[in-house]
Structure 1
Amino acid sequence: MSPNLFFQIKILANITELRSLIIVKQLLNSTFLYIGTFS
């Protein structure tokens, strides 16, 4: 396995992780908004 390929996979994993973190954050925000509206 070439180091270059490993590096690309690592970057891809980081991007995926960031994206899923952002999605979770948005879900939490909309959930809190939803709760706040109906409480």
Structure 2
Amino acid sequence: MSRRMQSPPPNGGAAVMHWLMFALSLLTIAWIGLPKLGG
């Protein structure tokens, strides 16, 4: 893990990735779960 492969920018790059993955998971859960709840 000593290789530097696309090191994120210091201005919150990792936080942006974390929020993107969080939002994606929420959207997926809603997209799958809401139709089941509705019908």
Shared fold per TM-score greater than 0.5 = yes
Superposition CA RMSD, Å: 1.9
Return the structure number with greater helix share: 1
Please give the residue correspondences for 1:1-39 in structure 2 after superposition, counting only pairs within 5 Å.
Answer: 3=10, 6-33=12-39
Gaps of 5+ in 2: 1-8
Return the offset for 1:7.
0.2
Aligned length: 31
Normalising by structure 2, we get a TM-score of 0.61
Rg comparison, structure with higher value: 1
More relative contact order, 1 or 2 (CA 8 Å, 6+ apart)? 2
Gaps of 5+ in 1: 34-39
Return the offset for 1:32.
4.5
